[in-house]
């Protein structure tokens, strides 16, 4: 039974009884209808690998695991409480270390490091992309000597918001507008900061109005979630450590506006074996605000909108009621329920760049569901989903608007 | 012609294996509504009226076991003290259980689990080659083995003879009421009937009774007193019968008429309710339409097949068909295969079970 | 140049719907029954009736067995490939609703349609598809049809067989057959529950039911299993027909409460009884006090009841997830589904517990008490051969006990691999031989899902070769 000790992922995989209740929850199974693209199938493969039935280097095994969005909808559906994410991420790390995949992993790693984790490069690339998009130069990328998947990825990049929307918050300490009710920090992230400065600014204003003294520490950065999902644990470690150093110790909460980051940051201890004190303070923006209470009387915001649960909010963090509760407090805001609100949109970190065809068919399902609601405003809480669904909706004849929940709440100030 | 009256399954086995070997054709004789028996080729009759024991009654499990010759009235008598009943389709007490299950036409209560095919949970059969076998069991929920019970129900015994049956029973509701509407015009009646199909939550029966140029609606209700009361108010119909009289009241044309023999031109089949109004009213019809669209009525002039309806093939006049062949060629081929496998010496043309044994007398004349 | 089997499959379906890579084959090597595994030769994903027929005909030519598969949630190994490498026909791509009529309350669906998806579609008109196996979120109508699936609400509404009106299938000769309940012998009834041994169903005509006006769920906990079972008997005899009567035993309650499907069941109870009344408002309201009265007389630890949809869901959530939740106890689990007459429930259950002790196997029980359908869950570690053997033996002994008590070896999961040896408890050689004859009418060469259903060894008295119980008669 040494296998269970030496391979914690294997131990988790034993919780699965192969009942199949995860199948309907899995976006790739729903799209491809293949057992190997279901959580049950992938767990079986990973368990079989540990037991020596299939080799890690078997290409079909790698393909099957690559296809996973890591949206963790299966965890919500699983009656045995299988911690799927942990098994998958352990195997992604194993795969990344395979010689046959090493080059690709290194490339992906440096791409993530340079474009996402490094603030200056990230900002620069976003500005140039924005410019390229504005000038219609995106097509140019297709003739440059990039790997094929990356070329496709570039062609699929979502619209980059304009400079004024991207402008980040200046680090510092922001005082509450009324009496102080909490001492918190705002995690600004990488994508959120460079692409969605407007969201972070809206969140800051709402938190101030709710009576929070908000720290925006200067040296914080990428949370490392995308590295972790890609099996690049080693590259994630310095990023985690940077954030541990950056945040002050005596805070009531660390507020995250991106569901994917929040989910990863809450799980630092199980991944990295450290940072438990930090992690217990991490709260999603909606979670924190719903529990604290708005602390101000919201103004009416006459609009009809629908809410889409980001996977890493509902499945990753179990947060479902909080955002709905917050939105319900805004007078004249009518929330029309979305069908399958907890289904993944296909964005899944950088999945949409790695598996564009599959990501697009998953997106199509989401877009159809949004169309069915009849409303033109979609509210969500994760930057990846935000951009991805926006790009899907942009193809329709009607004009749709995608908003982060913080932006909606800021309208009610 | 010789009539066999076996007392035990062993005798039936001997008889049928012998007949098979000698190539003698056998008819399990008796009456059935319009199965077009061709007596000329019948060489022997198997009369199961002496196999008439209730072999088991477990009121707490709502099940019982009966031999084929048990009369419905005897079974009902045994069940009554326990507040239980057997959903017997359109038939009244003077029919044998074997005949009821063998014929199993649709009837007023034949929807959802009211169909006779849902009442048979186990069977002891002997096929035409004298092979004795069981299928099913004694419990209401059971998926072990192939469901040969289903092959028996409604087959007229074309594939094998059922000797003993395990039956599912129902507990009688606290209050039972049979309601009847005033006479209605045909168009009105159809509209009201379709409306009631949608608004009445769970009627035990809902029949549109056609009487030529006019019609009326009959509703059987069963349940708690409060529920039956509220449904009576909902329909606005008059209560015609209550209690066991009501329970037995709406069964089908045969039961209502309580004739000694079913009308020879009775015509049974099935039509989706949504298509009914397309052709009712074209010709004056006497008959009734049941809740899910099963119907029985006098044959239309000229033997026309109603639009969109599946007419039970056994009811087609004059066709020399074996058993109950389906219209789909693939299904027909399997039916023939089943006949080749099981029927052996059974049923020269069509086989009818001995369904009409009355306590009041000996088996009746079998030949028309 | 002659094509090999795999190339011929590609010729029928194209490159992107035929698979035989190691990962795919491994993933399809078993269903929800963890004890037996065989990899298929190839996996095909047809999208039309014609393609299914072409695949079956190809298999007949090549002598390759056929296994139709829906979602692979079968608990008896019905969807586990046979030992002889087969062509696995994955029906999950055929999941459309072809037509439905709210007035006639019928629908024609492709057999790969997921059970609950159908209810969601027809729910817009206040209708639903009544059979609700615990796997209904994932399992397909075709799979439900093959196994004659049950579920908690069978007690009132019947099994899958009571809701199937017609089937289109490709039989073991490669011919298309349309069986209709209203037309000819009841081939529909024969096909239902035939576990894929008669052919591949492609379309199913089902009956839809009206959603009940009101539903009230009761939850009562008891300090003894006898009291819970006694309550069930009394309710049934009273003429009350609850939609469902479910009992969970102590071990199950603990496992459920420790899982994500925790439903707030009292952890100190020996048995929890779930009762659901549904139907017209007046009927439910009239029956409720009667149920409460019976419950009170059996001295429960606690009783609660609700008509609130969300709370009902959470009471049911624990029951529906019970099987998966039991997975926490050991790496593997297999669940039996023997049936006993309801009046014998309590006595059989105590004997079942003794069997668990005798074989030293962790044994929990969650079951459909209304129709006496037990669900003993046997938890074991499949990597430990001795424990696996003990679990299997305990399972067989429990099934024998069910038959001895006047019951059946299977109420809803089917025979498959799991219970084929136990068939002998219920059926003698003559019965089995009638079943074999029946099967040959549909599948003369035994090409459809071979090796299941019939017991191995000893049988085969009609001159069939020894290998025919597993392989093909070719």
DSSP at C45: -
**% of residues, chain A, pLDDT over 90:** 54
Q: How many other CB atoms are found less than 10 A from the CB of residue B338?
A: 23
Pairs across A and C, CB distance < 8 A: 118
pLDDT in the model for residue A6: 80
pLDDT in the model for residue A109: 73
Residue ranges per structural domain of chain A = 2-96, 102-160, 165-291, 298-411
Q: Is residue C147 assigned to a domain?
A: yes
Report the residue of B145, B305, B319 to disrupt the C interface, i.e. the one with the largest count of C CBs within 10 Å: B145
Q: Is residue C320 assigned to a domain?
A: yes
Report the CATH number of the A165-291 domain. 3.40.50
Q: Report the CATH architecture of B2-171+319-343.
A: 2-Layer Sandwich (3.30)
> pLDDT per residue over A306-325, tens digit each?
999 999 999 999 999 999 99
Contact A40, A20 (CB under 8 A): yes
CA distances from C355 to A142, C76, C219, C349 (A): 69, 21, 29, 10
Which parts of chain C register pLDDT below 50?
459-474
**Using the beta-carbon criterion (under 8 Å), do A54 and C73 form an inter-chain contact?**
no
d(CA C447, CA C424): 23
Q: Which two tokens stand for residue B236?
A: 């606005």
Q: Do C203 and C103 share a structural domain?
A: yes
Residue ranges per structural domain of chain B = 2-171+319-343, 175-313
Q: Which two tokens stand for residue B90?
A: 């359109």
C182 touches chain B (CB under 8 A): yes
When pLDDT is averaged across residues A108-115 and rounded to a whole number, the result is 71
B316 touches chain C (CB under 8 A): no
Name the residue among C160, C76, C151 with its Cα closest to residue C373: C151
Nearest chain C Cα to B341, which residue?
C437
pLDDT in the model for residue A349: 78
Which chains share 3+ C-beta pairs under 8 angstroms with A? C
pLDDT in the model for residue C120: 94
Which chains share 3+ C-beta pairs under 8 angstroms with C? A, B
> pLDDT per residue over A347-360, tens digit each?
887 787 788 888 99
Q: Is residue C184 assigned to a domain?
A: yes
- Please tell me the distance in Å from C407's CA to the nearest CA on chain B: 6
C437 touches chain B (CB under 8 A): yes
What residues in B contact C346, CB-CB < 8 Å?
none
Q: How would you classify the pairing of strands A182-187 and A253-256?
A: parallel
d(CA C58, CA C80): 21
d(CA B195, CA B272): 15
The CATH number covering residue C227 comes to 3.30.70.2190
**CATH topology (fold) of A2-96:** Fumarate Reductase Iron-sulfur Protein; Chain B, domain 2 (1.10.1060)
Burial class (CB in 10 A: 0-12, 13-18, 19+), C264: middle
Nearest chain C Cα to A14, which residue?
C331
d(CA C6, CA C415): 30
Contact B109, B251 (CB under 8 A): yes
d(CA A357, CA A346): 10
pLDDT in the model for residue B151: 92
pLDDT in the model for residue A404: 95
Q: How would you classify the pairing of strands A182-187 and A212-216?
A: parallel
Range of the domain at C350: 329-404
Task: For residue A292, give the 3-state DSSP assignment.
Answer: helix
Q: Is residue C421 assigned to a domain?
A: no
Q: How would you classify the pairing of strands B214-223 and B205-212?
A: antiparallel
Which DSSP string corresponds to A307-361? E---HHHHHHH---HHHHHHHHTSTTEEEPPPSSTTS--S-TTTHHHHSHHHHHH
Name the residue among C8, C79, C3 with its Cα closest to residue C38: C79
Name the residue among C138, C90, C130, C307 with its Cα closest to residue C218: C307
pLDDT in the model for residue A67: 93
Q: Is residue C218 assigned to a domain?
A: yes
**Using the beta-carbon criterion (under 8 Å), do A60 and C23 form an inter-chain contact?**
yes
Q: Phi and psi for A363 in degrees, rounded to 5?
A: -65, -40
> pLDDT per residue over A38-83, tens digit each?
999 999 999 999 999 999 999 999 999 999 999 999 998 888 889 9
- The residue from C324, C344, C359 where one domain ends is C324
What residues in C contact B226, CB-CB < 8 Å?
282-283, 285-286
Q: Do C101 and C44 share a structural domain?
A: no
Q: Band of the pLDDT at A136, cuts 50, 70, 90?
A: low
Taking only the tens of pLDDT, chain B with its 368 residues reads 577 888 899 998 988 887 655 555 555 444 333 333 444 455 677 788 888 999 999 998 999 999 998 988 899 999 999 999 998 877 777 788 988 888 787 677 767 777 889 999 999 999 888 899 999 999 999 999 999 999 999 887 778 889 999 999 998 888 999 999 999 998 899 899 999 998 888 888 899 988 878 899 999 998 888 889 999 999 999 999 998 888 877 655 444 444 434 444 566 677 788 877 776 656 667 788 888 888 777 655 554 555 445 554 333 333 333 345 677 888 888 988 888 888 876 754 443 333 333 333 333 323 22
Contact B146, C190 (CB under 8 A): yes
* Number of domains within chain C: 5
What ipTM was predicted for this assembly?
Answer: 0.92
Name the residue among C323, C333, C318, C319 with its Cα closest to residue C260: C318
Q: What angle do CA C338, C341, C344 make, to 5 degrees?
A: 100
The CATH number covering residue C43 comes to 3.30.43.10
pLDDT in the model for residue C168: 96
CA distances from C40 to C6, C89, C138, C195 (A): 12, 10, 22, 17
Report the CATH number of the A298-411 domain. 3.40.50.11810
Contact A381, A323 (CB under 8 A): yes
d(CA C374, CA C123): 31
Does the pLDDT value for residue A365 go beyond 70? yes
Q: Do C434 and C376 share a structural domain?
A: no
pLDDT in the model for residue B21: 53
The CA dihedral of C95, C97, C98, C104, to the nearest 10 degrees, is 150
Contact B62, B170 (CB under 8 A): yes
C390: enclosing H helix or E strand: helix C385-404
**Using the beta-carbon criterion (under 8 Å), do B145 and C431 form an inter-chain contact?**
yes
When pLDDT is averaged across residues A190-212 and rounded to a whole number, the result is 90
A337 touches chain C (CB under 8 A): no
Q: Which two tokens stand for residue B271?
A: 């039509």
A172: enclosing H helix or E strand: strand A172-174
pLDDT in the model for residue A348: 82
Task: For residue C170, give the 3-state DSSP assignment.
Answer: strand
d(CA A210, CA A215): 14
Nearest chain C Cα to A23, which residue?
C138
> C173: number of CA atoms within 13 Å, CB side?
13
Does the pLDDT value for residue A272 go beyond 80? no
Common-topology check for domains A165-291 and A298-411: yes
- For C441, which of B139, B155, B338 is closest by C-beta distance? B338
d(CA B291, CA B252): 12
């Amino acid at each position: 039974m040494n296998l269970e000790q030496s391979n914690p992922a294997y131990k988790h995989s034993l919780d699965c009884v192969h009942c199949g209740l995860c199948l309907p929850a899995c976006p790739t199974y729903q799209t491809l209808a293949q057992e190997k693209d279901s959580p049950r199938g992938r767990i079986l493969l990973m368990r079989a690998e540990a037991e020596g039935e299939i080799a890690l280097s078997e290409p079909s095994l790698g393909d099957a695991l690559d296809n996973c969005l890591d949206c963790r909808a299966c965890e919500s559906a699983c009656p045995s409480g299988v911690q799927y994410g942990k098994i998958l991420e352990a195997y992604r790390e194993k795969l990344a270390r395979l010689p046959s995949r090493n080059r690709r992993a290194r490339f992906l790693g440096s791409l993530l490091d340079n474009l996402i984790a490094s603030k200056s490069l990230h900002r620069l690339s976003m500005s140039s992309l924005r410019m390229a998009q504005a000038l219609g130069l995106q097509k140019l990328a297709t003739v440059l000597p990039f790997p094929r998947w990356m070329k496709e990825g570039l062609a699929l990049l979502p619209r980059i918001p304009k400079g004024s929307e991207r402008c980040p918050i200046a680090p510092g300490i922001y005082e509450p507008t009324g009496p102080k009710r909490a001492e918190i920090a705002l995690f600004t992230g990488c994508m959120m900061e460079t692409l969605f400065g407007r969201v972070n600014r809206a969140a800051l204003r709402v938190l101030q109005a709710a009576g929070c003294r908000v720290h925006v520490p200067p040296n914080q950065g990428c949370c490392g979630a995308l590295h972790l999902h890609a099996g690049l644990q080693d590259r994630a470690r310095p990023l985690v450590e940077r954030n541990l150093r950056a945040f002050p110790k005596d805070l009531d909460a660390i507020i995250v506006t991106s569901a994917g980051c929040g989910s990863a940051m809450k799980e630092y201890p199980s991944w990295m074996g450290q940072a438990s004190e930090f992690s217990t303070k991490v709260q999603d923006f909606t979670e924190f605000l719903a529990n604290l209470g708005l602390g101000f009387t919201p103004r009416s915001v006459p609009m009809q909108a629908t809410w889409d649960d980001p996977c890493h909010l509902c499945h990753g963090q179990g947060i479902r009621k909080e955002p709905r509760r917050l939105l319900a407090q805004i007078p004249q805001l009518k929330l029309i329920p979305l069908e399958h609100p907890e289904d993944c949109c296909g964005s899944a970190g950088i999945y949409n760049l790695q598996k564009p065809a599959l990501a697009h068919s998953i997106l199509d399902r989401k877009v159809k569901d949004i169309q069915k609601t009849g409303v033109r405003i979609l509210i969500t809480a994760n930057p990846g989903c935000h951009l991805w669904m926006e790009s899907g909706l942009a193809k329709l004849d009607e004009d749709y608007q995608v908003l982060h929940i913080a932006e909606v709440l800021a309208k009610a100030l | 012609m010789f009539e066999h009256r076996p007392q035990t399954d062993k005798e039936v086995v001997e008889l049928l294996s012998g007949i098979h070997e000698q190539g003698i054709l056998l008819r399990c004789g008796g009456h059935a509504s319009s199965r077009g028996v061709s007596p000329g080729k019948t060489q022997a009759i198997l009369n199961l009226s002496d196999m008439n024991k209730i072999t088991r009654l477990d009121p707490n499990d709502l099940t019982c076991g009966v031999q084929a010759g048990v009369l419905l009235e005897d079974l009902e008598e045994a069940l009554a003290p326990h507040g239980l009943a057997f959903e017997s389709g359109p038939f009244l007490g003077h029919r044998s259980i074997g005949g009821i299950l063998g014929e199993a036409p649709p009837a007023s209560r034949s929807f959802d689990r009211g169909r006779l095919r849902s009442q048979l949970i186990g069977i002891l059969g002997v096929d035409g080659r004298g092979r004795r076998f069981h299928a099913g069991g004694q419990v209401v929920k059971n998926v072990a083995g192939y469901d040969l019970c289903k092959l028996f129900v409604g087959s007229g015994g074309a594939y094998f003879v059922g000797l003993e049956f395990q039956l599912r029973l129902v507990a009688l509701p606290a209050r039972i009421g049979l309601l009847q509407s005033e006479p209605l015009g045909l168009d009105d009646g159809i509209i009201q009937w379709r409306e009631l199909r949608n608004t009445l939550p769970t009627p035990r029966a809902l029949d549109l009774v056609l009487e030529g140029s006019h019609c009326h609606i009959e509703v059987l209700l069963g349940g708690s007193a409060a529920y039956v009361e509220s449904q009576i108010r909902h329909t606005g119909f008059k209560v015609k019968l209550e209690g066991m009289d009501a329970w037995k009241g709406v069964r089908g044309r045969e039961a209502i008429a309580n004739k000694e023999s079913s009308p020879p031109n009775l015509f049974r089949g099935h039509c989706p309710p949504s298509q009914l109004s397309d052709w009712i009213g074209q010709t004056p019809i006497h008959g009734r339409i049941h809740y899910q669209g099963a119907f029985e009525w006098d044959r239309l002039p000229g033997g026309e097949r109603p639009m969109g309806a599946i007419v039970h093939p056994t009811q087609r006049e004059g066709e020399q068909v074996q058993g109950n062949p389906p219209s789909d060629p693939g299904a027909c081929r399997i039916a023939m295969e089943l006949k080749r496998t099981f029927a052996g010496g059974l049923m020269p043309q069509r086989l009818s079970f001995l369904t009409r044994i009355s306590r009041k007398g000996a088996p009746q004349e079998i030949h028309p | 140049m002659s094509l090999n089997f795999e190339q011929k499959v590609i010729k029928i379906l194209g490159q992107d719907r035929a698979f035989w890579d190691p990962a795919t084959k491994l993933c399809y090597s078993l269903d929800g029954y963890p004890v037996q595994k065989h990899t298929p030769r190839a996996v095909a994903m047809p999208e039309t009736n014609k393609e299914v027929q072409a695949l079956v005909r190809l298999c007949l030519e090549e002598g390759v067995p056929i296994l139709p598969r829906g979602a692979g949630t079968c608990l008896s190994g019905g969807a586990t490939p046979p030992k002889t490498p087969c062509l696995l026909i994955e029906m999950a791509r055929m999941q459309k609703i072809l037509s439905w009529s709210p007035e006639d309350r019928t629908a024609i669906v492709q057999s790969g349609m997921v059970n609950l998806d159908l209810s969601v579609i027809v729910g817009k008109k206040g209708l639903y598809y009544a059979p609700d196996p615990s796997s209904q979120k994932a399992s397909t109508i075709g799979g439900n049809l093959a196994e004659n699936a049950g579920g908690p609400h069978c007690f009132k509404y019947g099994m899958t067989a009571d809701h199937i009106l017609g089937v289109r299938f490709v039989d073991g000769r490669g011919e298309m057959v349309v069986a209709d309940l209203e037309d000819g012998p009841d081939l529909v009834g024969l096909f239902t529950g035939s576990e894929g041994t008669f052919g591949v169903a492609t379309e199913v005509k089902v009956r839809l039911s009206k959603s009940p006006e009101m539903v009230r769920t009761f939850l009562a906990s008891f300090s003894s299993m006898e009291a819970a079972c006694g309550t069930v008997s009394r309710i049934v005899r009273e003429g009350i027909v609850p939609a469902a009567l479910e009992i969970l035993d102590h071990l199950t309650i603990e496992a459920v409460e420790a899982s994500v499907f925790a439903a707030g069941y009292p952890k100190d109870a020996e048995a929890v009884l779930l009762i659901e009344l549904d139907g017209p408002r007046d009927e439910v309201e009239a029956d409720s006090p009667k149920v409460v009265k019976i419950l009170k007389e059996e001295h429960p630890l606690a009783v609660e009841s609700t008509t609130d949809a969300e709370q009902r869901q959470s009471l049911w959530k624990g029951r529906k997830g019970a099987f998966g939740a039991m997975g926490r106890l050991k790496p593997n689990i297999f669940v039996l589904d023997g049936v006993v007459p309801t009046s014998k429930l309590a006595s059989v259950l105590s004997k079942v517990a003794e069997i668990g002790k005798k074989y030293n196997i962790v044994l929990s029980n969650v079951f459909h008490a209304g129709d006496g359908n037990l669900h003993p869950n046997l938890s074991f570690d499949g990597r430990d051969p001795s424990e696996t053997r003990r679990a299997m033996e305990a399972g067989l002994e429990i099934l024998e006990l069910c038959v001895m008590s006047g019951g059946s070896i299977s109420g809803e999961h089917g025979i498959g691999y799991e219970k084929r040896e136990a068939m002998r408890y219920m059926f003698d050689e003559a019965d089995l031989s009638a079943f074999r004859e029946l099967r040959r009418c549909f599948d003369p060469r035994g090409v459809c899902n071979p090796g299941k259903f019939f017991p191995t060894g000893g049988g085969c008295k009609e001159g069939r070769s020894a290998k025919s119980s597993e392989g093909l008669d070719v």
